[in-house]
Chains A and B, each alone.
Chain A
């Protein structure tokens, strides 16, 4: 992946991060970048986690109802 693609991906993700919130005021410490990014990542993986949980339930249901091999 070239440098342009990497930077574009960062810009898109940061754009999403900055756009999706309500205002509050605070001083920023060096961990701000980690704090903000964690919120962004968690919002993405939350959706994936729901799908993962449902998939696990579906698999469990299928295998539970599958007749045992003799």
Chain B
């Protein structure tokens, strides 16, 4: 039996759970199950619920280990869950990802009831995307079903899933960003105020969001006599069914577009596109990455090069429509390697929650083996005034190998950015680009793209780069 006294570190995001916690030990992730959770854990494992959920890929599988815990008086078991290639958060998900996570939660709750158990919490952060599908990662979320008791996770389900989905569907797709502000889901009174009046005419939204919000406000500050009521199993199942029906009916589609027509706007000739695809394929073949992050992936043309080779690939884009389309495509094609996510590169996901460590920042979740930064340099340098040296510094913190495309100023896409603004970017040249990336990356290859003015680079990070902002290199901020 090994001891965890050395080389173990608690995962900062799991401290709220009274039943156990996650910790890292010798590079592997483990979960301690406390004695206080013994009855529930044994019921989960012995009732057949664990096997049923794992068989359907709904719950993360784990193995019980022989590792000896730090505090053996509290620890009942140490389990080792399957390690995810990348942890994502609800504020990085598109509409259908959040919807699928909601439906997964309700499906699990229905199955759990069949085995005499119930979900005791419903955090969207308990769901992750693994091999193309949503999966519950919190093994300690179950408790024995208490007869005649309502669902303890009902409020959390409404705040983490129903309210944000309704807001994204009826009000504005960008409102999933509320997850960045509210760590325990969207406050229902806020959701109620932001949803359009017509949602008062839909029974499920009226009940679960609007009246729910009123009820919370009405009883929130009161000490009252609570009435004992019977909450039958039938009522419980009916409630879950009602939530499942309303979530299933929520839809979102970019205004005025059809998915088939979306994103045909490629600024390349066929020849240039084919050549670019070929070069990126060659670079990926040379580097043999363990994982790839595609920054500005659009609808995943180039992410698919890595995805087709079963390389775990995270395809980031700022456009909710592009991420939605790629997610639906991956889901239809059963692509188990590509994870589409929302990301504004100029304001990447920060560390959030208690002590700013409950949810990791983008940088903390890296570095990726290889990053694709195709056709984004002009958006960062000209569209957002980020100097080349800061782009190089940032990229060197999140990757080991970089495949980057330089787009010259006379390219029509860059000219489009300059139409309504003064050209103050005299330093935006290929020579300056290479010079300012040079301290951070070694240029291994550079290949001009045929039938275009653009160039693709393969670079590797220098060993002394990427340890955060280097004040000796970076210019003073203005």
Q: Do A and B bind each other?
A: yes
Q: Which of B200, B211, B218, B238 contacts A42 (CB 8 A)?
A: B238
Within 8 A of A (CB), among B188-239: 197, 200-201, 206-208, 210-212, 214-220, 222-229, 231-232, 234-239
B-side interface size class? 35 or more
> What A residues does B238 contact at CB under 8 A?
42, 45-46, 48-49
Are B226 and A24 in contact, with the CB atoms below 8 A?
yes
How would you classify the secondary structure of chain A's contact residues: helix, strand, loop or mixed?
helix
Are B214 and A10 in contact, with the CB atoms below 8 A?
yes
> What B residues does A35 contact at CB under 8 A?
150, 226
Are A45 and B211 in contact, with the CB atoms below 8 A?
no
- Report the Cα distance A21→B229, complex, angstroms: 6
With an 8 A cutoff between CB atoms, is B172 at the interface? no
> Can you report 17 residue pairs joining A to B where beta carbons are below 8 Å apart?
A9-B206, A10-B214, A14-B215, A14-B218, A21-B227, A21-B228, A24-B225, A26-B226, A28-B226, A32-B224, A32-B226, A33-B215, A37-B216, A38-B150, A41-B242, A44-B207, A45-B239
Are B215 and A36 in contact, with the CB atoms below 8 A?
yes
Are B212 and A49 in contact, with the CB atoms below 8 A?
no
> What A residues does B212 contact at CB under 8 A?
33-34, 37
CB distance from B160 to the nearest CB of A (A): 13
> What B residues does A42 contact at CB under 8 A?
150, 231, 235-236, 238-239
Which residues of B line the A interface, CB within 8 A? 150-151, 154-155, 158, 197, 200-201, 206-208, 210-212, 214-220, 222-229, 231-232, 234-239, 241-242
> What B residues does A25 contact at CB under 8 A?
225-226
Sample of 4 more A-B contacts, CB < 8 Å, known A24-B226, A28-B226? A34-B154, A42-B238, A45-B235, A49-B237
- Report the Cα distance A26→B223, complex, angstroms: 9
With an 8 A cutoff between CB atoms, is A13 at the interface? yes
Which residues of A line the B interface, CB within 8 A? 1, 6, 9-10, 13-14, 18, 20-28, 30-39, 41-46, 48-49, 52
Chain B, Cβ-Cβ closest to A42: B235
> What B residues does A37 contact at CB under 8 A?
207, 211-212, 215-216
> What A residues does B215 contact at CB under 8 A?
14, 33-34, 36-37
- Report the Cα distance A51→B220, complex, angstroms: 34
